[in-house]
Amino acid sequence: MPFEPREAAVRDAAELAALHVETFRETHGGGPPVSLRENQWQRILGANDATDFTFVVEDDSHRLVAFARGRRHDGGVPGYQGELNKIYVLRRVHRHGIGRALVRLVADRFLSQGVTSMLLFGDARNPSNGFYEHLGAVRLLSPEGEFNGGYGWPNLRELV
């Protein structure tokens, strides 16, 4: 892969915020401004919490093109310890293996922390849902049997 993931640092907050806004708009449209995202990323990355981590991917020009954030799951869905909180890849670099590498990197970090399962909450209409299913994620259904965009990997060892 010509793109190499690395762990994000506080110095990445401004560029990460701009990437977050751009990729969110590509995927969902709208969203908060860069200034709000920059404040959020400063806070998240500045906390230096080993259980809340972010990986970024740069292109050949050293510009960020993708990111993924993992953190401990709050327990709202029993059986899942980790959460793939965010994953965004610029559309222009889709289908280069970046998303797959990021998901596996987050899973590997969780496993190193003793976390063996992971979920994500998304949009049930997101075109990326097929990507999660391709990586072995199972749909999480509501008590009424509805799919609302949640996916889970009950055994991260199978993913990595």
DSSP string, 74-138: -SSSTT--EEEEEEEE-GGGTTSSHHHHHHHHHHHHHHHTT---EEEE--TT-TTHHHHHHTT-E
> Is residue 132 predicted with pLDDT exceeding 90?
yes
Percent of the chain scored above 70 by pLDDT? 99
> Is residue 2 predicted with pLDDT exceeding 70?
no
> For residue 24, which of 96, 87, 94, 103 has the smallest C-alpha distance?
87
> Is residue 1 predicted with pLDDT exceeding 60?
no
- CATH number assigned to the domain comprising residue 24: 3.40.630.30
Q: Quote the pTM value.
A: 0.94
Span 123-139, average pLDDT: 92
Q: Which domain holds residue 122?
A: 4-159
How many domains, in total, are found in the chain?
1
